[in-house]
């Protein structure tokens, strides 16, 4: 089977976080899911999801598993990537309220603030319209100790903002080229539209 006709191979960084839920969502979207813990697994995928979790722990584990530099290289070469919550933080170029030794991947020209919405007990849900993804039918977005985007470069497309409440207007979904990120967790609701959008991005890249 040629690269143009096979299902895309979409990896999920499997060091920490909602790995199983993302793998299931990738499969439901028609891609081949691959858990990524080693360099050879990273080399085998066409695109990568960085799940939610704890960004400073994820940063440290990338070093422990010798994946930090290979992942930065794949991203610099144009590999599609999607980060949810902590994954958004990892993909950002600038992070506020993080540890001085935390490393990130510089794949998105955005400034993010960690835990911007507050502690775990201040997690919330809202109906969200995501440009190019939800098509006029909002999705239920779940925010758990989530970041928000405080600033975005000229090449960054803003896909969603919080519609109401104290955080009204805050940016919570962005895309820059083949890199996508959301503050919220679409893997926990059963709504596969964000994952389908990303799988379609990856498929277009390998055609």
The response to whether 114 counts as a known ligand-binding position is yes
Cα–Cα distance for residue pair 142/123, rounded to 1 Å: 8
Cα–Cα distance for residue pair 112/172, rounded to 1 Å: 10
Nearest to 206 by CA among 5, 25, 36, 14: 5
The response to whether 145 counts as a known ligand-binding position is yes
Nearest to 160 by CA among 118, 198, 132: 132
The response to whether 103 counts as a known ligand-binding position is no
Q: Which residues are catalytic?
A: 85, 185, 187
Backbone angles phi, psi at 150, to 5 degrees: -90, -25
The response to whether 144 counts as a known ligand-binding position is yes
Cα–Cα distance for residue pair 14/8, rounded to 1 Å: 18
The response to whether 49 counts as a known ligand-binding position is no
The response to whether 53 counts as a known ligand-binding position is yes
- Going by the annotation, the residues of the binding site for L-glutamine are 53-55, 114, 144-145
- Going by the annotation, the residues of the binding site are 53-55, 114, 144-145
């Amino acid at each position: 089977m040629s690269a143009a006709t096979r299902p895309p191979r979409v990896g999920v960084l499997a060091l920490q976080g909602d790995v199983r839920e993302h793998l299931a969502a990738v499969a439901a979207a028609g891609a081949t899911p691959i858990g990524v813990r080693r360099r050879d697994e990273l080399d085998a995928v066409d695109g990568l999801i960085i799940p939610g979790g704890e960004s400073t722990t994820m940063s440290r584990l990338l070093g422990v598993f010798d994946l930090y530099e290979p992942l930065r290289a794949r991203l610099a070469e144009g590999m599609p990537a999607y980060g949810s919550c902590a994954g958004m933080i990892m993909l950002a170029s600038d992070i506020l309220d993080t540890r001085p030794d935390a490393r990130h991947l510089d794949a998105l020209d955005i400034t993010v603030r960690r835990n911007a919405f507050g502690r775990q007990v201040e997690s919330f849900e809202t109906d969200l319209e995501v440009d190019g993804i939800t098509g006029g039918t909002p999705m239920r977005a779940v925010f758990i100790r989530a970041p928000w985007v405080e600033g975005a470069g000229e090449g960054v497309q803003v896909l969603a903002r919080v519609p109401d409440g104290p955080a009204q207007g805050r940016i919570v979904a962005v895309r820059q080229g083949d890199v996508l990120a959301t503050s919220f967790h679409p893997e926990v609701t059963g709504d596969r539209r964000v994952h389908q959008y990303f799988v379609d991005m990856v498929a277009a890249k390998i055609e």
